[in-house]
Amino acid sequence: MASDSPARRLKRRNAAVLVIGSLAWDPNPLRAEWRLTLDWEDAAAVRVPIRYARSSSTRGDTFTMTFSVGARGVALLVPLKLEIRTTEDLASATRALWRAESPTAVCGATCAPWGRTAVRFGRDAHRQRLAADWEANCLRQKCPTLDYVGQDGSLRLPMRSAKGILPAYDFILATPTLATHPDATVDQIADAWCDQDEGFEEYFLQNLAWGIQTLDDIDLLLRIAHRKPAWIESWPGLQQLLDNLPRTLTSNA
């Protein structure tokens, strides 16, 4: 992650994606190709309300991240290499993001019953014209109502820098998903990973390795260490995570 000068951090930029979960690291070819459209050298850690609250059937009914009211965590805000200037630019960026989020999605889609692409817009007249076109797209596709997303498809997520000044962007894209288990406990979340042997614990441990965190992470790790699942031997760095995470979360989350 590149360190910017204060002057550079204050400069307004064009567009970025708020990255949580496997969008950052999953080797799926569609996701790997999409990640090439991002400028990872200028990624910034940002504080956002995320937690593990979605049971994923494609990951053995273990839990994945969602934006959730009252939660706390750290995500990555990563600039797009190409700028968004027109309605077609916005359509292309949101379609590509949703295809990365949902590799089996129909071509051209930006949402599904379980999730959607949302956009945080700047306030000048040009960007507002794009916002009106985006709202029409969301209505046409009948995108679902989710936490922190307006009916017009706007991203209304509280966000602040985990360190320094939050970069200013004209457009911020994200993929909120439906929380299937908004009240899941730490034990339920950790036990779902402990009780499987297909490698789905990777989701949690890779998120930690990438600095994508929730406020529950210390307790989740402690529960995993207590349960001692068979796969724990495959992650020799787990103890180091236990040693380092309290300090990391204290400073970031």
pLDDT tens-digit map of 34-50 = 999 999 999 999 999 99
Number of neighbours of residue 243 by Cβ within 10 angstroms: 9
List the beta bridge partners of residue 119.
Answer: 154, 173
Burial bucket for residue 149 (CB in 10 Å: 0-12, 13-18, 19+) = buried
Higher pLDDT, 8 or 139: 139
Amino acid letter, 195: D
pTM score, two decimals?
A: 0.90
Q: Could you please report the per-residue DSSP string of 116-169?
A: E-EEEE-SSHHHHHHHHHHHHHHHHHTPPP-TTB-TTSBB----EESSS-PPPE
- The proportion of the chain whose per-residue pLDDT surpasses 90, expressed as a percent, equals 78
pLDDT score at 245: 58
How high is the mean pLDDT of the chain?
90
